[in-house]
Structure 1
């Protein structure tokens, strides 16, 4: 089977991809925030709202406290009515974690947390007043306005709705998207409003307080707090000239998914809308895979070459060659799509058969040994699949948008292009097709293997590592060999584009997906730290700082064991401040849903935390090996962590951890 060619045109002039700010942002819109108390023992009314704030994009700030309505018999009821009336003055409102709901699954387990819109509705039900909140078929809340169908005889209710339709965007749903995290290089380590804002805006919540602490403050301070939170949400929405909202709007224009739904939903729903539109327009055939067989299955991913561990430096530069957009490119070249794999029209066409070389990469070991029941794939030769067609259109349009300087649009197209492949082996994608996923990865493994062969056998490069779409090589004689290698790969690998993406002057390779690279241009480019345990967010700041220091020492040619030795001694003597030893973790479930010997249960109960809250704890010699009180710190556990993270790193540089970090003496040292 040869690659499929197609005369798919550029996106036509009839497709309007000219981006402007979304109309919802061109009129007054507001950020809202509530503060409430939670009483888990009050089953009739667990939530009590005591403050609310509205901050709009025109600079208007409005806030109320329940004490402002003290002359009424039910102050909270009047406060909620005021909050809802203010929300209804704006067609668009935004918030942080405002659309969350707590639901119970079929096993009786709860997940999720109730947030502002849900709590407004709960309070309305308690006081038997009209709610502006409704729920979609998934149980997710949205702002509907007062339901005038149920109050047709009450003119005052009808007049409260200023607009026919209302929109609400939960910025939490926006900033948790991987694509948005990628824009900020993963710098915010959790999705707490304070963390995200301090990372992006350089400021955070009032005096670092959280919802629990402010309940002890005066009503004046509580209002300052709720106003600050609403202001932070507004500032996030407008950061860098609406950078993120413009990106969401670009995706809305491309996919024709409404702007607010792009913000609140995921890549899965965007692509589902695009494909369904094509099917409804007659531009796409239905899937060839039986619906019963759809869904997630275990398939082999990208090829990862065994690393040649070591420290590469001095004149032994490490070059990284990358296949640009590997999986989208292969889908385009080989016409891989849910509507082309094993089509009915090409079953008997030998030209449509997937090469045996690729099928051998797909078949598992058991199938090969039995020589029976093996999968058999062919790809349509008569029809251009909708996925390769769209990917090619999006790719061509992205080049055009880059030339026009339209960053939001080109980035939106890039996100759709690069995110498409991963959907085909997911559980919740309507057009999931594991065959698309395993064919794409199989062609990808062959591509990387071909690159390795050309690098080693033709040009004599030493391939020290490779992962999915990249190979890392040394022993490159000169720039001419690089140019020849790139050209030959492009010819041999059928229209794939290979590029030199990085050159490291120092490279510490510890294992698969674990390395530190110091760029040849180390002035403008920060070191690459990939997979290193000391960098991870669930490590204490003490370890994080030591990992950064290790990389800086590597960069500047200093002995990293000197700082590690000092850190070891300080820990032994108990001289490390406990603040630097605290570990933070966001709970994925309520503490009660963990077993009672897990630290999440123990510390969660100690801190009265719930799902979504961030707990802070220390390594300790007690049940669960953790405690929220620094008095229980077990220094030996931190020393074990230090060794587990840095022992291989220092030994790769030629040092001995026991000798140079712990300071242990050997018999040879004694005789010296």
Structure 2
């Protein structure tokens, strides 16, 4: 009988007298429980030829052993394993071997992860008793997690906590330092006399509520970091984990903050959104909530928000409590709206990654791939040791044919890179088998850069096939979250094989994917033009843009799109089976029809641009939608004015509406100062202000002026790396919006913002913005 079934919430490891202890907190139906596995060893691999040398280097140490294994590396060299009784011993051994340049393999895999990985435990686990304690086995288990959204309000320098907001399914409370001097004391505000009692009150609330997940916005880098700093200053053990040990907040060499606690996880909303491929112009809580709900923070002045918080703390703590709690609710609502927790759970079920793992595409690949690789008789290569210096370009981008067109079809290869891997058997183990002496010629598929792959012994295509089938099922069941998680994982495989900081990097692998993609797009273009006679005006990575022209109405154009997809899928199936004698998994889809389409020229050139276009798309409900790719309308470094003008002008041109009166009125309103609120630039600082030595772009100049202004006010500089600077171009140069002193330079906006946007489309109508402006000036002279 099993002791319990649950979801692996958090995993930890530590040395004990009898070896390494693995600690797993499982969330089951009624709560969370700790299960430990005692007396474990760590293991990593090395070339068997180095055994004697390693034994000599480690002869002064105890607690390790070398074991011969029936495994080889991807170059067919025998390997052995070195087993260590303690984590501290393994670290010591790795330092010695590194200093003597001994090749180590998979030495970075933590025992607590390897235990799950080698047993194919992807989230759900069943606990079974054995003579030495317990053993975990894989099982399907879908947990219901208890989530707590938290947010801190602090002094300007974050050296004192004013209040802590807590919000969840059945909790809504603000913990406040100091009394509320008001006749109406809010029921959901608990006051504490000082900061120490406030922090203790927070610890008590967490213990009482007993959450599985903390969520927040920059919750690790700010909220938990400040909590840890203030608790340490006040000598209060911050016991927030289920093991009642003090929480630790650490910073990596790359500057990333992490929380260490047991039995609970901390999920940052910003990282989670990015990992789920949500894209926002800004990831500030105010901006994201406005985009999703048209609702934001209760204090609306971003540059004065800190000062207003201080005023509210002094004068109106009840209002501060409302503001604090609303921030918690905004984060909660964002997680609900975007289904982030569901996405992270599905990702764990597919990859074995911990819910709080940021990024992790390489780790996800390892978790799925390494156990199968070991069972095939191989170990991974030495980290990032694959072949380099070869031709392994990125996605193929065709030369575009600039113009203003009617009826343009877009045909898209469904998951092109995963389907290439699956069709042409691209795989690290398959490469090793394909290059092995005596390989069966009938079992081989040629790649690029000298690669040859085994059809029958490839691992990665099988993983993709399983994920592909799971995604098809998710689509049938209308499980959009699961489908998206699978798509992200499948698309990450190419990046793992092509990144020189990943374990399986090898340009024979990545080149066999991208160069095959180039070939597929070029041959698809050639066949469309040969068999159908339609011009392909553009192609990008996995899509081709086919011009039909005004001879086709919308209904006929859509029918031709379906005909093209059907024909090309049959054609590709025949080509692959004839040339490679293997099944073809390439699938071309008719994606959309642009009834009007603009492929712009490069600036100051007659050549067509790349990754930049606009079109009028007909949707399923019959309505039209304006689509921009790479143009000013979707770029955050262009002003709202430029984006609005582009949208209005292109829509007018595409629908054959008059646009000259609109442009003339626009220029008149701009020069009259009626559009000032649309002239704000907003650009991100990439580094500290004092790091901009030689070149000071306009947003840096504006930030430096703002810095002087804030210092004169006796307040901290609000601009740090990653922050956006809002500024306007004036006759005296760029000035921050909080300190506008000079008249706005309207001619700058006409020349640098409006003219590029307008001329990009009017040039194909043999008109120019300069002529319109000149005509207008003549009228008013």
TM-score range, shorter chain: 0.7 to 0.9
Pick the structure with more strand per residue: 2
Q: 1:377 aligns with which of 427, 448, 451?
A: 451
What is the correspondence of 1:60-459 to structure 2 with a 5 Å cutoff?
A: 60-68=171-179, 75-89=194-208, 90-100=210-220, 114-132=221-239, 133-135=247-249, 138=252, 140-142=257-259, 144=261, 165-177=263-275, 179-181=276-278, 186=279, 188-210=280-302, 211-212=305-306, 213-217=308-312, 218=315, 219-239=317-337, 243-258=339-354, 260-262=355-357, 264-279=358-373, 282=375, 285-287=378-380, 291-293=384-386, 299-313=392-406, 317-343=407-433, 345-346=435-436, 359=448, 375-381=449-455, 383-384=457-458, 386-459=459-532
Please tell me whether the aligned partners of residues 336 and 439 of structure 1 are also in contact (alpha carbons under 8 angstroms): yes
| Distance in structure 2 (CA, Å) of the matches to 1:297 and 1:204 | 50
Give, in whole Å, the separation in 1 of the partners of 2:382 and 2:443.
17
Instruction: Name the TM-score, length of structure 2 as normaliser.
Output: 0.67
* Corresponding pairs, count: 579
Distance in 2 of aligned mates of 1:620 and 1:627 = 11
| Contact residue 155 and residue 161 of structure 2 kept, 8 A | yes
Does residue 22 of the first structure (1) align with residue 143 of the second (2)?
Answer: yes
Q: Do 1:504 and 1:517's aligned partners in 2 also have CA atoms closer than 8 Å?
A: yes
Instruction: For residue 445 of structure 1, report the CA deviation from its aligned partner.
Output: 0.5
Residues 525-583 of structure 1, C-alpha deviations (whole Å, 9 max, x = no match): 5222111124312222111211221232134221334323322232233332x221112
On the 8 A contact 2:755/2:770 being kept in 1, the answer is no
C-alpha spacing 1:15/1:393, structure 2 compared with 1 (3 Å): farther
Query: Where does structure 2 lack aligned partners over 5 or more consecutive residues?
Result: 1-119, 125-137, 182-190, 240-246, 578-583, 601-608, 708-716
Cα separation, 1, equivalents of 2:281 and 2:426: 37
What is the CA–CA distance in structure 2 between the aligned matches of 1:293 and 1:407, rounded to whole Å? 36
Q: Is the 8 A contact 1:96 1:193 kept in 2?
A: no
SS in 1 for 2:431: coil
| Alpha-carbon separation, structure 2, partners of 1:279 and 1:404 | 32
Distance in 1 separating the partners of 2:168 and 2:630: 42
Kept in 1, the 8 Å contact 2:403–2:599? The answer is: yes
- Mean alpha-carbon deviation: is it higher for 327-336 or for 164-173? 164-173
- Could you list the per-position Cα deviations for residues 642-661 of structure 1 after superposition, in whole angstroms to 9, with x for gaps in the alignment? 11232122112332222135
Check 1:284–1:432 CA distance in 2 against 1; reply closer, same or farther (3 A cut).
Answer: farther
Post-superposition Cα deviations, 1:359-395, rounded to whole Å, max 9, x if no partner, equal 4xxxxxxxxxxxxxxx5322235521x2211111110
Task: Please state if 1:551 is matched with 2:626.
Answer: no
The alignment's C-alpha RMSD in Å is 3.5
| Structure 1 residues 564 and 422, CA gap change in structure 2 (3 angstroms) | farther
* 1:463–1:345 CA distance, 2 compared to 1 (3 A): closer
1:288–1:341 Cα contact (<8 Å) kept: no
Equivalences for residues 526-537 of structure 1 within 5 A: 526-537=625-636
Report the 3-state secondary structure (helix = DSSP H, G, I; strand = E; otherwise coil) of the residue aligned with 1:304.
coil
- The whole-number CA distance in structure 1 between the counterparts of 2:731 and 2:417 is 48
Q: 1:309 to 1:345 in 2, by over 3 A?
A: closer
User: 1:62 and 1:290 mapped to 2: Cα distance?
Assistant: 49
Cα–Cα, structure 1 residues 82 and 588, in superposed 2: closer, same or farther, change >3 Å?
Answer: farther
Answer with 492-501 or 122-131: which moved more.
492-501
| Distance apart, 1:448 and its partner CA | 0.6
Larger RCO of the pair (alpha carbons < 8 Å, separation 6+):
1
Matched, 1:660 2:772: yes
Change (3 A) 1:170 1:251: same
Give the Å deviation of 1:326: 0.9
Q: Which residue of 2 aligns with 1:515?
A: 613
Preserved CA contact (<8 Å) 1:538 1:584: yes
TM-score (norm: length of structure 1): 0.78
Q: Using the alignment, how far apart are the partners of 1:429 and 1:33 within structure 2?
A: 36
Give the distance between the partners of 1:599 and 1:432, measured in 2 at CA: 40
**1:274 Cα deviation from its structure 2 partner:** 2.3
CA–CA distance in 2 between the matches of 1:290 and 1:22?
35
Q: In the alignment, is the contact (CA less than 8 A) between 2:214 and 2:264 conserved in 1? A: no
Q: Which residue of 2 aligns with 1:645?
A: 757
- Structure 1 gap segments, 5+ residues each: 1-11, 40-45, 101-113, 145-163, 360-374
1:240-297 CA deviation, whole Å, 9 max, x = no partner? 7xx2321221111122223x325x44433333332344446x2573345774347999
Higher alpha-carbon Rg:
2
Displacement of 1:73: 12
Question: CA 1:18–1:470 in 2, change beyond 3 Å: closer, same or farther?
Answer: farther
